[in-house]
Amino acid sequence: MAFAAFATTTGPGEELQRRRSPIALLLLLPGILYLALFFLTPLVSLVLTSLQVPSATGEPGVYDPAFKWENYVTVINDYLPHILRSFGYALIATVLALAFSYPLAYFIGVKARPWPLLQSLMLVLVIAPFFISFLLRTLAWKQLLSDESFVITTLKALSVMPPDAHFTGTPVAVIFGLTYNFIPFMTLPLYTTLERLDVRYLEAGSDLYASPLQVFRKVTIPLSMPGIVAGTLLTFIPAAGDYVNASRSFLGGSDTQMIGNVIEANFLVLENYPAAAALSIILMSVILVIVTIYIRRAGTEELL
Amino acid sequence: MKFSLGKWLLPVYAVLALTFLMIPIIYTFIFSFNDSLKSNITWRGFTLDKWLNVCKVQGGAVCEAFGNSLIIGAVATVAATVMGTMIAIAIVRYKFKFRSATSLLLFLPMATPEVVLGAGLAAQFLSVGVPKDMTTIILAHTMFCISFVVVTVKARVASLDPALEEAGRDLYGSPSQVFMRITFPLLLPGILAAALLSFALSFDDFIITNFNSGSVTTFPKYIYISASRGIPAEANVIASAVFLIALVVVVTTQVSAAARAKRLAKLG
Amino acid sequence: MSMATGAFAERGADLELVGISKRFPGFTAIESLDLTIPAGSFFALLGPSGCGKTTTLRLVAGLEEPTTGRILIGGKDVTNLKPYQRPVNTVFQSYALFPHMTVLENVAFGLRRRKLADPVGKAHEALRLVELDHLAARKPQQLSGGQQQRVALARALVNRPALLLLDEPLGALDLKLRRQMQLELKTIQEEVGLTFLHVTHDQEEAMTMADTIAVMNKGRIEQMGAPEQLYELPKTAFVANFLGQSNLFTGTVVGTTSTAISVDIAGQKIVVPVGRSHRHSGDVTIGVRPEKLSLHREAPVIDPARNVIGPAHVIDVSFSGVSTQYLIAHPSLGTIVVFAQNMAFGPVAHVGEQVWVSWDIEHGFGLADDPAENPRFAADTDTKSIAAQRHAALIAELGEA
């Protein structure tokens, strides 16, 4: 939703209405300064921290300023599997969330148009998960899908699952949790673009001899591209940095740890700040590169 | 109905998909009535006890965490809404230098994983030597809410017909009167929506909070900490209550908006 | 009318624009414009979109600042006054009714800002003038387009501005309602006696309502005068074709008498009265309105009081109810448009038939334009304008049905 809003609000002709005025500066200054102070400079401190060396005194959790670029080599050597796993899990979860959300958003945004009340109530159900703690929802799944749960015992009784298999603690469970938790972020922007989709384009498509499938591929999908881009970004970015789903107390296990878990552990438990900072910078850089390439390729540069 | 893949496939899918989304919510709600002991995993019978005595468990730790979340949410919401609204008005209405740099600065916090935002702020507080407490949490929450406020309010400002403000000036309204009587009331729904969004984001945030909270516990942090040793049913009670309140607010506004649209359509 | 006086005009005031120009980054909207609108008149500024008419209006309202020049209302220089300090009110194109206020509060808004006594009573009175007092408690969104238009009018009129500006106020209404509102606006203007400055691109609307029309094109005024005068004696090809349609021919003056000039147009001699031509020698463009032409199926008898062109061929006949439009191709004069009243059943001539056209020499006119700027034989018959005429005719027909 947020990303789509960046794309849709600068229409042509708006420029003429804008004036130059000192008021603009007064309006911008507090917020911009705030972001400079609490968003930009933290990124700088993160870079500086990532290059620090352990204190000469040998005291744990204390570090001296330095420019030790080898920190990056060390964390990549130590945590390459976690980094790759994070992006792999996030990618799969994004694809699954898109597949899950598109038909739902299409139904709410296009098919349900004659019934606005139904439309808005379904939309409430889509955003309802936002109203209840993200952590409690994840825990609920953990308990619903635990080894003793009805679902898993039934699956085992039906021989769908081997008797000694587990669900929680596996990569499947983590990807399932990531997918579930970010579905609303995918569905909402898709809904926003599909809701504005002019059905006459679809009618024109089928009038011009396109089969329903061709209409979907050649007309619906391209027209809903802004929603697809926004939704996939809103899912992929937080999923790649998430550490709740993969945490051992939630859906993860020891071999499902993601980059977020490693950053958390290094920062808050091991007090290895340089490693946590270096990992954060790597995560942020990779995401920025992916986002930039993706936005370019999808042809919606006005997102920025 | 030319474009449906079969008439019933899509509606049936939509019902199933929405049900799937509801499963953990319903589970959480049901288990708020569980007559559980320390951990709330197996069903031990129905009770209203947990609803009636929410704050009695663990010396009221759940309620304290919940109270902290409310305070943090309220303060961060006000701060982010004020600053974000000002930026949104400036972006839509005025020309200024470094426009694309400003847009980028507003976009980046939304494109940065929370763990990076949290670790970055924590690293900064660490290097400056600021102790982590409620204030650092509020500062962090305000930061990530601003961009979302800008996006929400910006859409509203952009859809505001400039002719309305011109009409106000034409009808002898001074600039401040035009702002107070026309611009602000017309932007209010967008500002309220932005405030609600900020509050929701702040209230449910765990990742950034975890890095900047020190010993202060918020409601999500309380759940995270208790997750390994079992969460009391009282947490379910609070989460369910918040859910019900939010649901009532949203459904009422949606239904009344739909009713108003219907009434207008009839008159038109 | 016993509407409040306040600090504002009981009667309208003169509006004077002196040497006004307005430049935006990248283009010039208005170029050294001088214009005087007398008090109490209904003045229309007519022109195609982008001609600068709306910018002129916004300058008068104070919503834009002129790059050069002065604006005077009732002799007082208001160039540097803010919109809320000017005795001017606007009826906006989109009406700009405040959606969060009732109809009554909308109308009372200006009175309250000026802190006049009894704003509610005065607002009710203004609503009675536009016959909408019974809807005073409604919100603007609950009104029809025509009702909203009237509220916008009442909201401006209640302030008794020295000058009322109307920015395409009827543009959003359907044709029938527009006709009705045109008459109503005219009546209200006569009743309240204020100066109305009306901006429109609809020539019919301008001619129906205004005492004086200024035709604007590319930031300049092409011609100004009473509607009949502009229609009868257009000065430029632009006016000749923007106000109605014209057949235009370019040729050289070959003879002059005290009453008429004769022009040679591709070998055909056409006579125009001296008093109806702005040029009397050299190359001139002369014109005649399509409805002034008569169609003949045989060569007409020579008559010194009539110009004759022919023979030519009918290339298109389109029936539009009241009249039939014929397009006639002349080998050297190009295409000529004829509107014939449908006196008989069915068309008088068919496609392909050989015909002659004639007109009373008193109906011709000569333009002041330099003919070099105009194409020769520039009859307004390109496909786009034909399509537009057909469309208008069709709408008129549907409106009558």
pLDDT reported for residue A236: 95
**Whether residue C225 is found in the same domain as residue C239:** no
Q: Which of C8, C59, C84 to mutate to test the interface with B (most CBs of B within 10 A)?
A: C84
**Chain A contact present for B240, CB below 8 A:** yes
Average the pLDDT over each of A275-284, B14-23, C236-245 and give the range with the smallest value. C236-245
* Residue bearing the bigger pLDDT, A56 or B167: B167
For this complex, say whether ipTM is above 0.90: no
Residue of C nearest to B166 (CA): C63
DSSP A247: S
Tell me which chain C residues have a C-beta less than 8 angstroms from the C-beta of B172: 84, 110, 113-114, 159
Q: Cβ separation of B204 and A133 shorter than 8 Å? A: yes
Whether A130 and B257 have beta carbons less than 8 Å apart is answered as: no
**Cβ-defined contact of B170 to C141 (cutoff 8 Å):** no
The verdict on residue C390 lying in a domain is yes
Chains with ≥3 Cβ pairs under 8 A against A? B
Cβ atoms of residues A108 and A119 within 8 Å = yes
Q: Is the pLDDT of residue A76 over 50?
A: yes
How do residues A90-111 score in pLDDT, each as one tens digit? 999 999 999 999 999 999 999 8
Instruction: Mark whether C98 and C170 lie in a shared domain.
Output: yes
Asked whether residue C139 is domain-assigned, the answer is: yes
Of B102, B113, B126, the CB nearest to A273: B126
DSSP string, C14-73: -EEEEEEEEEETTEEEEEEEEEEE-TT-EEEEE--TTSSHHHHHHHHHTSS--SEEEEEE
Q: Mutate one of B22, B93, B115 to test the A interface: name it (highest A CB count within 10 A).
A: B115
What is the rounded distance in angstroms from the CA atom of residue A120 to the CA atom of residue A138?
Answer: 26
Of the candidates C229, C264, C289, which is a domain's last residue? C229
Closest CA to C360 of C298, C291, C312: C291
pLDDT above 90 (res A183): yes
> Considering only alpha carbons, which residue of chain C is nearest residue B177?
C113
pLDDT exceeds 90 at position C227: yes
Q: B247 lies in a domain?
A: no
**C242 and C280 together in one domain:** yes
Tell me, yes or no, if A294 comes closer than 8 A to chain B by beta carbon: no
SS3 B251: helix
The identity of residue B132, as a single letter, is K
Are C187 and C299 part of one and the same domain?
no
Residue C83 touches chain B, beta carbons under 8 Å: yes
Whether residue C290 is found in the same domain as residue C218: no
pLDDT tens profile C145-172? 889 999 999 999 899 898 999 998 887 7
> Residue B96: is it exposed, middle or buried by C-beta count within 10 angstroms (0-12/13-18/19+)?
middle
pLDDT band at B234 (very low <50, low <70, confident <90, very high): confident
Domain range enclosing B219 = 61-235
Q: Do A18 and B139 touch (CB under 8 A)?
A: no
Quote the Cα angle for A228-A213-A4, to 5°: 15
Beta strand extents in chain B (DSSP E only): 94-95
Q: Is residue C338 part of a domain?
A: no
How many CB atoms sit inside 10 A of residue C72's CB?
16
In this predicted structure, the answer to whether residue C5 has a pLDDT above a threshold of 70 is no
Q: What percent of chain C has pLDDT over 70?
A: 89
Same domain, C389 and C301: yes
For residues C297-315, give the mean pLDDT.
Answer: 89
- Chain B, 99-118: which have a CB under 8 Å from a chain C CB? none
Check whether C382 has a pLDDT greater than 60: no
pLDDT of residue A292: 87
The answer to whether the CB atoms of B163 and C93 lie below 8 A apart is yes
- Segment 182-211 of chain B within 8 Å of chain A by CB: 200, 204, 206-207, 210-211
Instruction: Answer yes or no: is B216 within a domain.
Output: yes
- Three-state DSSP at C236 gives coil
pLDDT at site B202: 94
Q: What local confidence, expressed as pLDDT, does residue A300 receive?
A: 55
**pLDDT of amino acid C342:** 79
- Are B27 and A120 a contacting pair at CB < 8 A? no
Q: Examine the pLDDT at B268 and tell me if it is beyond 50.
A: no
The rounded distance, in Å, linking the Cα atoms of A28 and A22 is: 10
Chain A residues 94-153 with a CB less than 8 Å from chain B: 100, 103-104, 106-108, 110-111, 116-117, 120-141, 143-144
pLDDT of residue C396: 59
Residues on chain B touching A291 (C-beta within 8 angstroms): 111
Find the Cα–Cα–Cα–Cα dihedral A251, A253, A259, A262, rounded to 10°: 120
Rounded distance, CA B107 to CA A205, Å? 36
* B172/C113 CB distance under 8 A: yes
Is the per-residue pLDDT at C386 higher than 60? no
Confidence of residue B90 (pLDDT cuts 50, 70, 90): very high
Instruction: Find the length of chain B.
Output: 268
Are C137 and C64 in contact, with CB atoms under 8 Å apart? no
Residues C292, C151 share a domain: no
Give the one of B102, B120, B254 whose C-beta lies nearest to A121's C-beta.
B254
Q: How far is CA A223 from CA A229, C62, C258, C306, in A?
A: 11, 42, 71, 63
Mutate which: C8, C63, C64, C135, vs B, most B CBs within 10 A: C63
Check B171 against C141: CB less than 8 A apart.
no
Q: Is residue C76 part of a domain?
A: yes
Put simply, whether B253 touches A (Cβ < 8 Å) is: no
- The percent helix, strand, coil of chain A (3-state, each to 5) is 75, 0, 25
CA distance B49 to A158: 38
Q: According to the model, what pLDDT value does residue A106 have?
A: 94
Residue B230: CB atoms within 10 Å: 12
Taken in order of first residue, the domains within chain A and their CATH numbers are 79-303 (1.10.3720.10)
Q: Look at B164 and C98 and tell me if their CB atoms are within 8 Å.
A: yes
How many Å lie between the alpha carbon of C57 and the closest alpha carbon of chain B? Answer: 12
Q: Is the pLDDT of residue B246 over 80?
A: yes
* Omega within 30 of 0 (cis) for the link into B232: no
Q: C381 lies in a domain?
A: yes
Written as six digits, the tokens of C292 are 């002034």
Could you tell me if C268 and C191 lie in one domain?
Answer: no
Q: Is residue B254 part of a domain?
A: no
Query: pLDDT averaged over chain B?
Result: 89
**CATH code at position B121:** 1.10.3720.10
Domain final position from C178, C200, C229: C229
Distance from the A163 Cα atom to the nearest Cα atom in chain B, whole angstroms? 22
Q: Does C109 touch chain B (CB under 8 A)?
A: yes
Note the pLDDT of residue C347: 66
Q: Which of A6-15, A199-208, C143-152 has the highest mean pLDDT?
A: C143-152
Beta strand A53-54 with A63-64: parallel, antiparallel or unpaired?
Answer: antiparallel
Query: Is C254 within the bounds of a domain?
Result: yes
Contact assessment for residue C109 and residue C117, using Cβ atoms and an 8 Å cutoff: no
Average pLDDT over residues B134-161: 93
Answer whether B171 sits within 8 Å of C142, measured CB to CB. Answer: no
Chain B residues close to C59, C-beta within 8 Å: none
Q: Per-residue pLDDT for C72 more than 90?
A: yes
CATH label of the domain that carries residue C298: 2.40.50
Given this model, what pLDDT does residue A13 score? 38
Nearest-CA distance from B249 to chain C in Å?
Answer: 22
Asked whether residue B252 is assigned to any structural domain, the reply reads no
Higher-pLDDT residue of C184, B70: B70
Is B165 a domain residue?
Answer: yes
Question: What predicted TM-score, i.e. pTM, was given to this entire model?
Answer: 0.80
Whole-angstrom distance, CA of residue C84 vs CA of residue B121: 48
> For chain B, how many structural domains are there in total?
1
Is B17 a domain residue? no
Residue in the structure block whose two tokens are 């148009």: A113
Mean pLDDT rounded to a whole number for chain A: 87
- What local confidence, expressed as pLDDT, does residue A303 receive? 45
Contact between A227 and A300 under an 8 Å Cβ cutoff? The reply is no
The answer to whether C288 touches C365, Cβ cutoff 8 Å, is yes
Residue that is written with structure tokens 């009949």 in the block: C228
Is the Cβ–Cβ distance between A128 and B22 less than 8 Å?
yes
* Contact between C92 and B166 using a beta-carbon 8 Å cutoff: yes
Q: Does C61 touch chain B (CB under 8 A)?
A: yes
pLDDT at C9 over 70: no
Residue A12, pLDDT > 70, answer no
Collect all residues of chain A within an 8 Å Cβ-Cβ radius of residue B86: 27-28, 30-31
Pick C110's closest partner by Cβ from B164, B172, B185: B172
CA geometry: angle B15, B21, B22, nearest 5 deg: 90
Residue C185 maps to a domain: yes
Among the candidates C199, C229, C259, a domain finishes at C229
What is the model's pLDDT at position C268? 85
- Residue B1 pLDDT: 44
| Interface with chain C: mutation pick from B95, B171, B262, B267, highest number of C CBs within 10 Å | B171
What pLDDT is recorded for position B255? Answer: 80
Q: What's the domain count of chain C? A: 2
What does the alpha-carbon distance between residue B258 and residue A41 come to, in Å, rounded to a whole number? 45
C7 phi-psi bin (left φ>0, alpha ψ -120 to 50, beta other): alpha
Q: Residue B141 has what pLDDT?
A: 97
Domain match, C243 and C137 both: no
**pLDDT of A9 higher than 80:** no
What is the reported pLDDT for B120? 95
Q: Domain containing C111: what range?
A: 15-229
Note if the bond before C311 is cis, omega within 30 degrees.
Answer: yes
Residue C70: inside a domain: yes
Average pLDDT, chain C: 86
- Quote the pLDDT of residue C376: 40
Indicate yes or no: CB of B114 within 8 angstroms of CB of A212: no
pLDDT at C307: 92
User: Would you call C7 an interface residue with chain B, using a CB distance cutoff of 8 Å?
Assistant: no
A131·B243 Cβ contact <8 A: yes
Is residue B257 pLDDT above 80, yes or no?
no
DSSP secondary structure, B116-129, as one string? HHHHHHHHHHHHHT
Query: Is B179 in CB contact (< 8 Å) with chain C?
Result: no
Domain CATH for C100: 3.40.50.300
